[in-house]
Amino acid sequence: MATALVNGKVLVDDGLREGLAVLVDGNRIAAVLRDDDARVRDADLQDLRGGTLLPGFIDAQVNGGGGVLFNNAPTVGAIETIARAHRRFGTTGLLPTLISDDVEVMHAAIAAVREAIARGVPGVLGIHLEGPYLAAARKGTHDAGKFRVPDAAEIELATSLGDGVTLLTLAPEQVPADSIRALAERGAIVAAGHTAASYEQVRTGLDAGVRGFTHLYNAMTPLQGREPGAVGAALEDRDSWCGIIVDGVHVHPASLRVALAAKSRGKLFLVTDAMPPVGADSPDYVLYGETITARDGVVRNAAGALAGSALDMASAVRNAVTMLGLPLEEAARMASLYPAQFLGLDGTRGRIAPGYHADLVLLDDDLDVATTWIAGQPL
């Protein structure tokens, strides 16, 4: 029997609407219809108790969660733990993210994600390789000793996942344009990040196949009057997407509002850059052999560099409403539809519409997560 989700506000393409029912049959949305439709009466009713039903959140940058860092445990079990931890906060789709590491760790991580997808681990959409083809001058918390330029074998490795999305962050000035082009032609979504590139170098990367920017403003050359830098190139370019971390720490809210004004609607999306403390009891984790502690929601290494975040997607959505002044509908799209578009998944994810995956999140009046569904299965 199909399930009808009723008595809530539903985010559809033209905004939040009351008086609708979402009919879920198996792992898909069968219909969105008036709640007095006969098909609703024939279904198993689930009362949303006046909550707000949104498309499930999609996070393209998840380094860890539930006490686990993907680099330290590139296994299917670790992926399951990370995905389960983030699901509590409305994330129904994510890319486990490997920061710069040795080639053997890359092999293991890609193999683990491939196996997780084959086993149907809930929420796993692919992999994000954040490095190791980055710039030492903008390394952030990455280990510059791992940085290198990809040869043909590494290009083949980086694009070897098969099923699922591969997102690859690189510094365009460190990677030849032909190599960027080869990565894109082999199916990788290429983003610029941890880059010391000039505006002109970023433009060369965009022309070669760069489609987005990783954590806009962070670990990239800033916008200045006579040198637009990577930030200027990102804000000017109409076709590229930018991930943003809305935690009040990584980027000042005013700078994010500038980005919202500059970019076309739909080209900014929320990411967490989450580390193991999300969904865990302990604020501590180990990165490159160093113990790091999240303090008051801020994660820094001993050198003072931001080391990811302790942000979850539900908090990112709330922050987009309270810090940036966005309507909930737009904040929710920045966590669902827009990342789905960036990842090429918007034909099946990111909307509440017939035929789409029944990946959903229910928020209460405080915008806290009450329930999530992945493939029609509630948590």
DSSP 223: P
CB 216 within 8 A of CB 255: no
Amino acid at position 207, single letter: D
Query: Which residues have CB under 8 Å from 322's CB, separation 6+?
Result: none
- In 3D, which of 297, 299, 315, 318 has the Cα closest to residue 307? 299
* Unique residue bearing structure tokens 């929601």: 297
| Residues whose CB is less than 8 angstroms from the CB of residue 107 and which lie 6 or more positions away in sequence, other chains included | 157
**Which of these is catalytic: 59, 273, 346, 359?**
273
Write out the H or E segment, with its range, that includes residue 119: helix 103-119
Q: CA 376 → CA 256, 371, 379, distances in Å?
A: 34, 12, 10
Tokens of 373: 């569904």
The span from the CA of 377 to the CA of 360, in Å, is: 9
Q: Is 284 marked active-site?
A: no
Paired sense of beta strands 52-55 and 360-363, if any: antiparallel
Transcribe 224-265 into DSSP letters: -SS--HHHHHHHH-SS-EEEE--SSSSS-HHHHHHHHHHSPT
Reduced to 3 states (helix: H, G, I; strand: E, B; else coil), residue 180 is: helix
DSSP states along 20-49: EEEEEETTEEEEEEETTSHHHHTSEEEE-T
Which strand (E) or helix (H) includes residue 299?
strand 298-299
Question: By the 8 A CB rule, do 235 and 206 touch?
Answer: no
CB neighbour list of residue 32: distance below 8 Å, 6 or more residues apart: 10, 12, 20, 21, 22, 23, 352, 353, 354
Give catalytic residues, as residue numbers.
273
